[in-house]
Structure 1
Amino acid sequence: MKRFIITLAFASALTTVNAQVKNEKNTKTEYNKWSIELGGGVNKPQRPMTSGYFTSTPSPYVVDLGARYMFNNKFGLKADFGYNSFTGKNNSIDFDTKYYRADIQAVANLGRIMNFETWTNTIGILGHAGFGLAQLEDENSAVKDRMGNFIAGITGQIKLTNRIVLTGDFTTILNAKQDHNFDAASVNNGRGFSGILFNGTVGLTVYLGKNEKHADWVIDNGNEIDDLKKRIDDIETSMLDTDKDGVADYLDEEPNTVSGVMVNTKGKAIDLNNNNVPDELESYLVKTYGSNTDKSPIVGNNELIKNLINGGYVCTYFDFGKSTPTNVSTEGIDFILNYLRNNPTATVDIIGHADEIGKSAYNDKLAASRANSVKDVLVKAKVNPSRLNIVAAGEDTSVEKDSDAARKLVRKVTFRVK
């Protein structure tokens, strides 16, 4: 029956998740659209070049600066400016020319189009192509050759952070109506797109905007998928049985039951005589320590109760980073209150504990705060404060630090009666 109830609850939770995802399907995804691009590298003017004039392969240098706007996570536009320097190398006749250009280009996010997200979240590819104007200038003459150009290239991306991307770009530029050769030493007699120039650069892209992600890295329906995964993770977490009593945490009203004792369907230790000692544990103590004439050795034997308390069976638990006891773990305070009322000369150490997450100084303070919180409850129940001693035990290192379930067991207050 228990398995059937848990299975039914799990199926119901999944149905709720599915409905919520459908309701949010049309929610607009917010992401950044603007970016600034800067790159530098090398070039190679292919043609036209005058006989006896040539550059090294490759030849420095190139500088590119651009601004890009993405309409969505696949397509956008960018405006960019470029500067190339051409000089003679090795056995070439000396020359020194400069090439300036300005272009408007369409951009396609090939990484999203080809679903790179199925295998990587840090590598992307952009394709770009467009038209612009250019001018070739000779440093040793008055040549200023104005021309149109067609530009196309591909840009590889490696995401360093959500704001900065390392890029590598290879671009081809075709010049139309280029009247002079790249070396400016002679006139170009070609027509149409006769000039060919190759650029290779490495650079950085900086994303602008207030949102966490840029369009380059936003996945279609990505938020819904992430949200679904989170909800499934939450369901799996709620299905855990931290105290191993056979009742899932989300149904367990007493998530820190003493190990091995019998519980009811709500995960609470069975205590038919309401003496705050689980019946199964009480039965064991009666059998082990009680006499044949004792009808209720747990109630009448203060030494056994004292050993029970000092052995750590009575405690109060806290949520992460909190100093207020959880609603389902106040039974430990009730037990101590009853003991102190039945033993008016007894005193008790209230010992605060914390897990290892965070700085030690903070955890020491949190442990003391938890102990003081329990003390305040007992004082309000009219226990003389002089009978209550605060002990800040600080971090409890007895469990695995990386285990969420285990850390729940050490976020507590225990007691030591005297």
Structure 2
Amino acid sequence: MKKIALPLLLVGLTSASLQAQDMQETAATTSIDNSFNKWSIEVSGGANKPFRTLAPGYRTDRVNFFTVDLGTRYMFNNKFGLKLDFGYNQFQNNDETPEFKSSYVRGDIQGVINVGRVLNFEDWTSTIGLLAHGGGGVYMLKADDGFDGEDWGANLIGGLTAQFKLSDRIVLTADVTGIANGFQNWTFDGMAQNAGRSVDGVVLNGTLGLTFYLGGAEKHADWVTDVKSDELAALDERIGAVETMMNDSDKDGVPDYLDAEPNSTAGVAVDTKGRAIDRNNNGVPDELESYIENKTKEIAAAGGSGTDLQGLINGGYVNVYFDFNKDMPNSSSTTGINFLTKYLKENPSAKTDVIGYADEIGNSDYNKALSQRRAENVKKILVDSGIDASRLNIIGNGEDTSVNKDSKQARQVVRRVTFIIK
């Protein structure tokens, strides 16, 4: 029974370490990054239909080609934004009226409402969106065969843009836009002057196009559904800062911001500043040192020897664990280093292999180098604890394929450094 007690303790400490790793990995994977891209470029083309004003006897086809739009848009959040856009319309006679040809160029500033987010489209689709836009600007009308010079004026513009997301960077759009001109002196065909109405020409544009999202974030504001208000985000940040201050990484009862030793060995006594009590300054907490000494005596009294402790180490009961893609031991697994330090100091002729492993996630060559760095960092800690470097042999064994790589819990077990006493 006495020989079983120490392995059980070490297994218990290993289990606690793995549970702490699981909590850390879960927290990392469930955090939400509310950053998003805000800029986009919009290109589209299609047809138009001028409803008024045209000179008597002049008409266009019902669908009159062509129309081109180019714009850039900035979203303040996932619901509201501004866009600056430029458009070109060409008007031309149909087969039943005298010939004419004119061009219409405009520039507008418009507000944008993401109707899809306002109406919670995300409840039923992740690929379809709807934008409403409206504003005003200036235009210039020029006729090839009509009046001389250019006709300048102001306009009001508004419309709806349907969106179909092709990827996180490109969206297919279909837009219907109405434009009302003010102070238009000439008809769209350029053949007659207007009667001086306050609202003169009216044009309806229909276009198909593409929107290209700019920025380094994963998503654009058009498709983000978890944006917080500035006040709420600031409050959340302050709360997060307080929570971070109150974290107790090594579970010793002293918050990290007051902890002078935030990686003290789990379960050992600490002072008011979170430092493990080590009165003889040998690098091993007194409580752990006392426990190992007592267990060593128990093993000897039962007829065993130091080889029993060596068997525990070589049998894999003493390990140092690492978080995903990290090469420094996590704060909950320094017990293994302390145990080995104590053993090597009590057995000055013993040497050990320090063997690093990685899980199977990622590139094999990278994981090989990662396992080597893990072993080297554990060696450095041992050397800093007073063990001669010549007694420590570094081995980077790369990936441990002995567990199911699809299991997060199993992968924690193989992200480790083990020891073989010689």
For Structure 1 versus Structure 2, the TM-score category normalised by the shorter chain is: 0.5 to 0.7
- Counterpart code for 2:313: I
1:40-62 CA deviation, whole Å, 9 max, x = no partner?
32212234456875544533221
Is the 2:213–2:220 Cα contact (8 Å) retained in structure 1? yes
Moved more, 378-387 or 406-415: 378-387
Cα distance in 2, alignment partners of residues 228 and 384 from structure 1? 49
- Counterpart code for 1:153: G
- Counterpart code for 1:407: R
Task: Please name the residue that 2:318 is paired with.
Answer: 314
Q: Per-residue deviation at 1:410?
A: 1.8
* Structure 1 residues 70 and 374: CA distance shift in structure 2, 3 A: closer
Is the 2:68–2:89 Cα contact (8 Å) retained in structure 1? yes
Q: Which runs of 5+ in 1 are unaligned?
A: 1-28, 239-251, 256-269, 287-293
Task: Please name the residue that 1:95 is paired with.
Answer: 100
* Structure 1 residues 47 and 327: CA distance shift in structure 2, 3 A: closer
TM-score under structure 1 normalisation? 0.61
Cα distance in 2, alignment partners of residues 167 and 177 from structure 1? 31
Task: Please name the residue that 1:86 is paired with.
Answer: 91
SS at match of 1:312: coil
Give 1:389's match in structure 2, choosing from 389, 393, 397. Answer: 393
Moved more, 215-224 or 205-214: 205-214
Task: Please name the residue that 1:9 is paired with.
Answer: none
Q: Percent identity?
A: 46
Is the 2:357–2:398 Cα contact (8 Å) retained in structure 1? yes
1:164-187 CA deviation, whole Å, 9 max, x = no partner?
765432111234565655344566
Q: Which runs of 5+ in 2 are unaligned?
A: 1-33, 248-263, 268-286
* Structure 1 residues 383 and 212: CA distance shift in structure 2, 3 A: closer
Is the 1:83–1:98 Cα contact (8 Å) retained in structure 2? yes
SS at match of 2:147: coil
SS at match of 2:375: helix
Task: Please name the residue that 1:259 is paired with.
Answer: none
Q: Structure 1 residue 44 and structure 2 residue 61: aligned? A: no
Task: Please name the residue that 2:14 is paired with.
Answer: none
Cα distance in 2, alignment partners of residues 402 and 65 from structure 1? 47
Give 2:175's match in structure 1, choosing from 169, 173, 194. Answer: 169
Cα distance in 2, alignment partners of residues 330 and 69 from structure 1? 50
Counterparts of 1:23-42 in structure 2, within 5 Å, are 37-42=42-47
Q: Per-residue deviation at 1:315?
A: 1.6
Moved more, 91-100 or 378-387: 378-387
Task: Please name the residue that 1:375 is paired with.
Answer: 379
Give 1:129's match in structure 2, choosing from 134, 145, 167. Answer: 134
Q: Per-residue deviation at 1:109?
A: 4.1
Give 1:352's match in structure 2, choosing from 353, 356, 366. Answer: 356
* Structure 1 residues 327 and 62: CA distance shift in structure 2, 3 A: closer
Give 2:115's match in structure 1, choosing from 107, 110, 115. Answer: 110
Cα distance in 2, alignment partners of residues 409 and 254 from structure 1? 18
Counterparts of 1:140-155 in structure 2, within 5 Å, are 140-142=145-147, 149-155=155-161
Q: Structure 1 residue 182 and structure 2 residue 188: aligned? A: yes
Give 2:203's match in structure 1, choosing from 197, 200, 204. Answer: 197
* Structure 1 residues 320 and 219: CA distance shift in structure 2, 3 A: closer
- Counterpart code for 2:132: G
SS at match of 1:274: helix
Task: Please name the residue that 1:274 is paired with.
Answer: 291
Task: Please name the residue that 1:361 is paired with.
Answer: 365
Task: Please name the residue that 1:3 is paired with.
Answer: none
Q: Per-residue deviation at 1:350?
A: 1.9
Cα distance in 1, alignment partners of residues 187 and 207 from structure 2? 23
Q: Per-residue deviation at 1:128?
A: 2.8
SS at match of 1:275: helix
* Structure 1 residues 110 and 334: CA distance shift in structure 2, 3 A: closer
* Structure 1 residues 191 and 321: CA distance shift in structure 2, 3 A: closer
* Structure 1 residues 311 and 34: CA distance shift in structure 2, 3 A: closer
- Counterpart code for 1:98: S
SS at match of 2:329: coil
Is the 2:103–2:141 Cα contact (8 Å) retained in structure 1? yes
* Structure 1 residues 374 and 72: CA distance shift in structure 2, 3 A: closer
Q: Structure 1 residue 332 and structure 2 residue 336: aligned? A: yes
* Structure 1 residues 398 and 254: CA distance shift in structure 2, 3 A: farther
Alpha-carbon RMSD across the aligned residues, in angstroms, is 5.1
Cα distance in 1, alignment partners of residues 342 and 93 from structure 2? 97
Task: Please name the residue that 2:272 is paired with.
Answer: none
Higher RCO (CA-CA < 8 Å; seq separation 6+): 2
Q: Structure 1 residue 413 and structure 2 residue 412: aligned? A: no
* Structure 1 residues 343 and 180: CA distance shift in structure 2, 3 A: closer
* Structure 1 residues 38 and 206: CA distance shift in structure 2, 3 A: same
Q: Per-residue deviation at 1:85?
A: 0.9
Is the 1:112–1:219 Cα contact (8 Å) retained in structure 2? no
Is the 2:86–2:107 Cα contact (8 Å) retained in structure 1? yes
Cα distance in 2, alignment partners of residues 338 and 131 from structure 1? 79
1:119-139 CA deviation, whole Å, 9 max, x = no partner?
667654332334444443322
Cα distance in 1, alignment partners of residues 98 and 293 from structure 2? 100
- Counterpart code for 2:176: F
State the number of aligned residues.
Answer: 349
- Counterpart code for 2:355: I
